[in-house]
Every structure is written in structure tokens, then in C-alpha cells.
A and B are shown apart, each in its own frame.
Chain A
Amino acid sequence: MPNTKRRRLVATSVAVALGATALAACGSSNDDSKAEPGPVTLTYWTWTPGMDKVVDLWNKGPGKKDQITVTVKKQASGDSLVTKILTAHKAKKAPDLVQAEYQALPTLVSNDALADIAKDVGDAKSKFADGVWQQTTLGTDAVYAVPQDIGPMMFYYRADLFKKYGLKVPTTWDEFAQVARDLKKKAPDKDLTTFSANDSGLFAGLAQQAGAKWWTTSGDEWKVGIDDAATQKVAKFWGGLVKEGAIDNQPMYTPAWNKALDTGKQIAWVSAVWAPGTLTTAAPDTKGKWAMAPLPQWSAGQNVTGSWGGSSTAVTTDSAHKAAAAKFAAWLNTDGTALEALAKDSGIYPAATNAQTSGAFATPPAYFANQPDFYTKAAEIAKTTAPSAWGPNVNVAYTTFNDAFGAAAKNKSDFVAALNTMQDATVADLKKQGFEVSQ
């Protein structure tokens, strides 16, 4: 999440190297594998901290019974990991299990790297909200992954400063804009928040909340809707606020941004359920002064949110023990003990609905000790997550977003033009990759 630039640099260099060798040997071998009885060892690429402890529970418990041992190989998260998985897949050496962000699944599936595990995950579907589960099926009958964590979006604000300036917590985006203007009037040196162009996930989530569908399929054709009406509405809204100077236009996750949050120069942040972790390091001095509320809505009475972040556990086509791997993936993300450990040791917000109100989430995060019902509220918000629609070149759209919106935010220029750039680049890349694209 923080510092997309660095991540992008790595991803780009990996991609450049990969592209340069697109003609390299691509041996075809077909070893169809059935899960045979006997001890099985699986490798699992994940970036989640503390995952080795959770996996230990499996190796000593259900895994021991089934003779399935899982070995964790800790990786760095991000787009570069997708490239690494695809490279390994080229050599037929991808690990049995991989952690993948939702928006990376179409890329992995279109490269034939993920196995369909529909028949091996049992009744896992019932444990998740429909909008979450749909991301792992890509709208087909297949199941390509089991959801692990999600990032429903929320509105975070400095409760003490809102009170001081007599501001009301906005429930609609119109109110949000008004609050930003009111604050400017009362305290010209402060900003409600900033529009940051360095994390595309935020903008994608906001568009998702507005009802945007960036990638859809009809038949064999992809349709790219990045410049659809819903996204245009979001782009115009934020572009307008930046242009009139009602909010700041500096990027997030910089030392300056940390300072702005810590000193109360910025008094709100549109973020997701994982924000307490970020705030703990970014604004340590304001602990206990923040509060969380649902995201403002496009029309009063609505109740929808977007998602920013989240990942799943997938089984690769290279695995020789797909059924065993799928069994582990289902256990990891639906079993009570596993989810409890994931929450405690890894600090993730579980995708499984019943885990969101389990014991681990009975008390609020330490940073939000003043809001005892933090996780009860979060679970309610999570239920309202709008469905998302990812395509096979999310990375290209995201990179273009960073460049086009980065420039637009800096120059306070037209956001809709930046959106068109993003649409055109994404369509052009899909075509270049050989996908059919409908206009």
C-alpha cells in the first residue's frame, strides 16, 4: 500500500525483463495430477506477517491428520509478486499456494496460473458476502481462490477537532464538500483531507462505491468502463474540490502527510478498515482522538461502500496436489481457530462474515480505544460493499492513474481528461495483449 511508486518501479523492471524474454522457451508439459493418498508437502507464498504461526496450527492439527504439511515462504506484497508468480509458472515451478490481491486474480487466471478449485472447497461460499465471493469466481462457475481479508472503506475523522470547529460528520458527499469548505472558512490553514494520486486502490474503491464497473465481459469480449458515468462523477467531485482549494492535493504516505495527520493539519481521511494500523505509525500523537464513520453516500439514505485492499488464497495450476492445497485454503479462511489466529498474529480483517464479529474483534483496535463498537460498526459496513469488477490489466490502469491523476492533482487541472487517458491506455493495452475489446 504505501509508496506505490517504489512498488511500481520494481514491478516495471520485472515486467521489462519478462517482456524481453517473451520468446524464451515455453515448454509444454501436461502432467495432470490427482490427489493421491500419502504425505503431501505444499509450499505457500504469502506476505502476511505471522502466517507461519497460523500454518503451524494446521500442520499440528488437521494437516497432521490428513498428512498435508504446508511450508510458508514469505514474500513481499504487490504487483511484482504477480510477475514473480507468472515467471515461476512459465517454468512450471509456481508454488502450490499463493496469496493474491483480488484485482490480480484476472491477470493470473488469464495466464492460466490458477486452478479451478470449485469442487474442493466444500461449502466455503456460504461463509462470505456475495460481493466478496464473486471476486474469486470472476463471474464464472469456477472458483479461483478463497477470500482471506477485505478492506471495506470508511471515513476517519478527528472527533475532537470536528467538535472544536462545529463540523457535522458528513453522510453524503455533498455534505462532505460543504464540511471541507466550512473548515477552510474557520481555519484556513487546515484541510479536511487530501486527494492523493499515489494509491490507485483508493480511487478504484471510490468509483466502485459510486457503482462503476471498470471491467466487464460479454461473450469473449472485454469492455472497459473506466470512463463510465459513475467514475466521471467521482472524478469531477474530487477534481472540483482540489480546484477550488477546499482540500489539499498532496500525496499520502509521505513524511509531510504523516506530519499533517499528526499535527491536525488534515483532520480526516477516507480510508479502509486497516487504517488504525497506518494511523498508529503515521500519527502516533493523536491516538484516541480519531473516530470512524461510514463512508459518505452519493444520495441520502443510500448505504454502500467500496473496498480498498484485501486478498485471497489461490491454488496454482502447477501444484501436484491441488485438492490438498484447496483443502488447506478453505481451512485457513473459514475455520474459526485459523481466523482467530489470523486476526491475532497477522492483524488481518477477515473476509469470512462470522469471523468479523468473533472474539478477536470484541474489543476495538488500541488506536481506537475510544470507540468500543469499532468492529461491530465495521462488520455492518463490510456487508454493504459494492461488487467490484477487475480485469486482466489492472496494473496498467493503476499505473496510468498514478501518472495522469498525479499530474492533474498537482496542476489542479481537469480530472475527467485524466480519466479519459486512463481509459484509453487500458483499452490500448488490452488490445496489445491480444484480448478482444468491445467499444
Chain B
Amino acid sequence: MSSLAVQKIPSAAGTTGAAQDRPPLRRRIALVPTVTLLIGAIYTLLPVAWVVIASTKSGRELFSTFTFLPGTGFADNIRQLSAYRDGVYWKWMGNSALYAGLGALMSTCVSAFSGYALAAYRFRGRETIFNVLLAGVLMPPIILAIPQYLLLAKADLTDSYLSVLLPQILSPYGVYLARIYATAAVPADVVEAGRMDGAGEWRIFTRVALPMMVPGLVTVFLFQFVAVWNNFLLPYIMLSDDEKFPITLGLYTLLEQGSNQPALYTLVITGAFLAVIPLIALFLVIQRFWSLDLLSGAVKS
């Protein structure tokens, strides 16, 4: 990411002054943007580094040794975390994976369908629907958690896996993104050409439009995955059985054990560290789909 930015920013900013006299030096690194980005990188990475290092410290070392001095308790911390209440931590990890994985997948499907429909078809009320969705983007999900709880309570679905999955399926932001992306990436001509060749609407969607939308949908999936993985309030309100907790809630119960119990800091820190690994792995794996833009040249403009 940073290498891309380093190359791009000088070319955008360097159109005035000295750059006009001579051809710009390709390899020159602009100092100010680089330093700014470096500060930004340190600012965001420092807390991560803290978690990584703190998770290697034993309870005794945690508050007494120098902050960025690695400790000796990493294996021990993981062992204790795995042993805590018969490995309930890994159960939480599995739950988080289920909520985030399945939830994001379903949400991406819904976003793809509706985004494509809003982009490719003209029908009465299309703009109204889209505007309502836009309003939904502005609505913070935190406001919706309790009405959703009351609704699901009527359907007797609270404290179940479904109660966390269902509210996450429709993501206004996902639909919005999918529509914008489909408008830009799926040319009307291509859809028209498909129709001329006798393909049905379903076939056009799955064989022609969907592949073109993949990079956009990957973004929707990632956003939604991260949102669900980090979500706290919705599962907090919905779930009471800690066997169904996602990792955010589980770690919270480790911290808040009541006034007569010491908080399990080392377990929480190690747990938080392990919980970011899947997110990092997901980003690294999925990143390559972003450059997948093979079909953009299908039509001459």
C-alpha cells in the first residue's frame, strides 16, 4: 500500500515548478508525504506491536518489565487460554468465524443481487428504494441493535445463532457499494449483447455480470466480515449463552469478572492477539482479487 502511495502522490502534486523544466526524476522520494505516511503507519502499527509483545509476557512481567521488551510467557499464555473453562476460547473463535464468514457471505450475495438489480434494470420506485438504502447507510447499526432484539424476541429467536446472523444479512452499505460498482463495471452494452445472444436474465447475471463484479463484491465481503468480526453490541444484546458468544463478547467476560476477581489481563491480551490473526490472513489471501479486472476491456467505448 505504501509503495503505491509513494509513487502516486508526487506525480499528482509535482505538476508545478521545477517539474516543468526537466522530466521528473522517477526514483525521487518526496519527503513530506513519505514522512506523513510513515507517521501514520507507526501510529496504526504501534498498538498492534504492543499487543504482539504484551501477549508474550507472563502475568508477572506484564506490568513490571519494559513495554516493548518481549516476555517469556507466550506458550504458557496460550496454554492457559486454551485450558480456560475447557477451551471455551476456541469455541468463541469458531463462533466468530461462523458469524463473520457465513454472515459476510450471505450479505455479499444479497448485496450482489440487489446491487445488480438496482444498476441494470429500470423500474418504478428504483430511486426510492435506493434512497431509502442510502438513508440506511447513515443509520449507525448500534441504534438498530435493540429494536432488532425486540423484533427477534417476538419470533422467539433470541439467544440463537440465527439472532446474530439474520440482522447482518442486509447491509445497506454493501448494497450501495454493489450498485455503484455494477453501474461502473457492467456496461449496459454487455448485458444487451447477452440478451441478443439469447441468454436469460439469470444466465446474464451469473455468467456475465457476476464475474465483472467480483472485485467489488470482494470489498463488500471484506467490509462485512470485519464489521461482523468486530461487532460487539448486537451479539451482546442477543446472546446470553456464553457457548454461543463470539470472541469480542468472550474476551469482555474475561475482563469483567466482578469486583472480587482480578481481571485476566494476560489471557485477554493473548486472546486479542490471536483474534486479529484471522483478519490479517484474510486480507492477505483476498487482496489478489482486488486487481482482478480482466473483463473491463470487453467493450470498446
Complex partner residue of A91 from B60, B142, B153, B249, CB under 8 angstroms? B153
- B229-278 contacts to A, CB under 8 A, are 232-233, 236-237, 240-242, 249, 252-253, 255-263, 265
A76, B64: Cβ atoms closer than 8 Å: no
Q: Would you call A309 an interface residue if the criterion is a C-beta within 8 Å of the partner chain's C-beta atoms? A: yes
Where the two chains meet, the residues of A that have a C-beta atom closer than 8 Å to any C-beta of B are: 1-3, 6-7, 10, 13-14, 16-18, 20-21, 24-25, 43, 45, 47-49, 73-78, 80, 84, 87-88, 90-93, 95, 101, 149, 151, 201, 255, 258-259, 262, 272-274, 277-278, 280-282, 284-285, 308-311, 347-349
Nearest chain A CB to B95 CB, angstrom units = 14
Distance between B253 CB and nearest chain A CB, rounded to angstroms: 4
Most buried by B among A13, A17, A92: A17
Instruction: Determine if A74 and B259 form an interchain contact, defined as CB atoms under 8 angstroms apart.
Output: no
Given contacts A17-B146, A91-B149, contact A75 B262 (CB under 8 A): no
CB atoms of A47 and B233 under 8 A apart: no
Pick from B62, B147, B241, B252: contact of A24, CB below 8 A: B147
* Cβ contact within 8 Å between B263 and A311: no
| Contact call B153/A149, Cβ cutoff below 8 A | no
Q: Which chain B residues border A280 with CB–CB below 8 Å?
A: 262
Chain A residue nearest to B256 (CB atoms) is: A76
Measured between beta carbons, the chain A residues less than 8 angstroms from B149 are 87, 91
* A and B contact pairs by CB, cutoff 8 A, 23 listed: A3-B255, A13-B142, A17-B145, A20-B146, A24-B147, A43-B240, A73-B240, A73-B241, A76-B249, A84-B236, A84-B237, A87-B146, A91-B153, A149-B260, A151-B260, A258-B63, A258-B64, A277-B261, A281-B263, A282-B63, A282-B262, A285-B60, A347-B260
> Is there contact, CB below 8 Å, between A151 and B259?
yes
Cα–Cα distance between A75 and B265 once the two chains are bound (Å): 17
Closest chain A CB from B169 CB (angstroms)? 20
Q: B5: CB under 8 A from chain A?
A: no
Contacts of A101 in B (CB 8 A): 259
Q: Which 8 A-B pairs have the closest CB atoms?
A: A91-B153, A309-B259, A274-B260, A76-B256, A1-B259, A258-B63, A281-B262, A76-B253
B contact residues around A272 at 8 Å (CB): 259
B150 on the interface (CB 8 Å rule)? yes
Closest to A275 in B: B260
Asked if B233 contacts A14 (CB within 8 A), the reply is: yes
Determine whether the beta carbon of B252 is less than 8 Å from that of A284: no
Residues in A neighbouring B63, C-beta threshold 8 A: 255, 258-259, 262, 282
Tell me the count of chain B residues lying within 8 A, CB to CB, of chain A: 35
Of A43, A95, A311, the residue contacting B258 (CB under 8 A) is A311
Query: Which residues does chain A contribute within 8 Å of B145, judged by CB atoms?
Result: 17
Other contacts beyond A24-B147, A45-B240, A87-B237: 7, CB < 8 A: A2-B263, A10-B236, A17-B143, A21-B146, A24-B146, A280-B262, A284-B59
Question: Nearest Cβ in chain B — how far from A252, in angstroms?
Answer: 12
Contact with A along B150-173 (1 / 0, CB 8 A): 100110001000000000000000
Please state if A284 and B60 are interface contacts (CB–CB under 8 Å): yes
B259 touches A347 (CB 8 A): no
Question: Nearest CB to that of B141 among chain A residues?
Answer: A17
Which residues from chain B contact A282 at a C-beta distance below 8 Å? 63, 262
CA distance A383 to B146 in the complex (A): 43
**Contacting residue for B233 out of A17, A75, A309, CB 8 A:** A17
**CA A2 to CA B136, docked complex, whole Å:** 37
A90 touches B150 (CB 8 A): yes
Q: Which residue of B lies closest to A262 (CB)?
A: B64
Max chain B C-beta neighbours (<10 A), residue from A84, A93, A285: A93
CB distance from B13 to the nearest CB of A (A): 40
State the Cβ distance, A259 to closest chain B Cβ, in Å: 6
Q: Which chain B residue has the least Cβ–Cβ distance from A43?
A: B240
Partner pick for B59 among A20, A74, A281, CB 8 A cutoff: A281
A74 to B255 CA separation, bound complex (whole angstroms)? 13
A348-B253 Cα distance, complex, nearest whole Å: 17
Cα A13 to Cα B62 with chains together (Å)? 30
Shortest Cβ distance from residue B287 to the other chain A in the assembled complex, whole angstroms: 32
B-side contacts of A45, CB under 8 Å: 240
Q: Looking at the assembled complex, report how far the CB atom of B130 sits from the nearest CB atom of chain A, in whole angstroms.
A: 25
Q: A2-B263, A348-B260 are in contact. Are A74 and B253 (CB under 8 A)?
A: yes
Q: How far is the CA of A259 from the CA of B242 in the complex (A)?
A: 34
Instruction: Point out the residues of chain B lying under 8 angstroms from A92, CB to CB.
Output: 153
The answer on a CB contact under 8 Å between B153 and A80 is no
Residues of B contacting A310 in the complex (Cβ-Cβ under 8 angstroms): 259
A204–B60 Cα distance when bound, in Å, is 31
Complex CA gap A117/B262 in Å reads 32
Are A78 and B256 closer than 8 Å at their CB atoms? Answer: yes
- For A258, the chain B residues whose CB sits under 8 A away are 63-64
B260: which of A6, A18, A75, A277 is its contact (CB, 8 Å)?
Answer: A277
B257, A47: Cβ atoms under 8 Å? yes
A417 to chain B, nearest CB (A): 29
Check B262 against A49 for contact (C-beta < 8 Å).
no
CA distance A1 to B261 in the complex (A): 9
Of the candidates A14, A91, A262, A278, which one forms a contact with B236 in the assembled complex, judged by CB atoms under 8 Å apart? A14
Q: Measured between C-beta atoms, what is the minimum distance from A106 to chain B in Å?
A: 18
CA distance A95 to B153 in the complex (A): 13
> A23 CA to B101 CA in the complex, in Å?
34
Instruction: Given A73-B240, A74-B242, A76-B253, verify A274-B259 contact (CB < 8 Å).
Output: yes
Which residue of B has the minimal Cβ distance to A263?
B64
Contact A16 B258 (CB under 8 A): no
Residue among B62, B147, B232, B257 having the largest count of chain A Cβ atoms under 10 Å: B257
B253 and A47 form a contact (CB under 8 A)? yes
Quick one: which of B60, B150, B260, B265 has the most chain A CB within 10 A? B260
Q: Closest approach, in angstroms, between the C-beta of A148 and any C-beta of chain B? A: 10
Complex-state Cα separation, A87 to B146, whole angstroms: 7
- What chain B residues lie within 8 Å of A255 (beta carbons)? 62-63
Nearest neighbor of B144 in chain A, beta-carbon distance: A17
**Is the beta-carbon distance between A76 and B233 smaller than 8 angstroms?**
no
Nearest Cβ on chain A to B231's Cβ, whole angstroms: 12
Chain B proximity of A23: nearest CB distance (Å) = 10
Partner of B153, one of A1, A43, A93, A278: A93
A16 CB contacts on chain B under 8 angstroms: 142
**Within 8 Å CB of A149, what residues of B?**
260
List of A residues within 8 angstroms of B233 by Cβ: 13-14, 17
Which residues of A lie under 8 Å from residue B150 when comparing CB positions?
21, 24-25, 90-91
Residue pair A281, B265 in contact (C-beta under 8 Å): yes
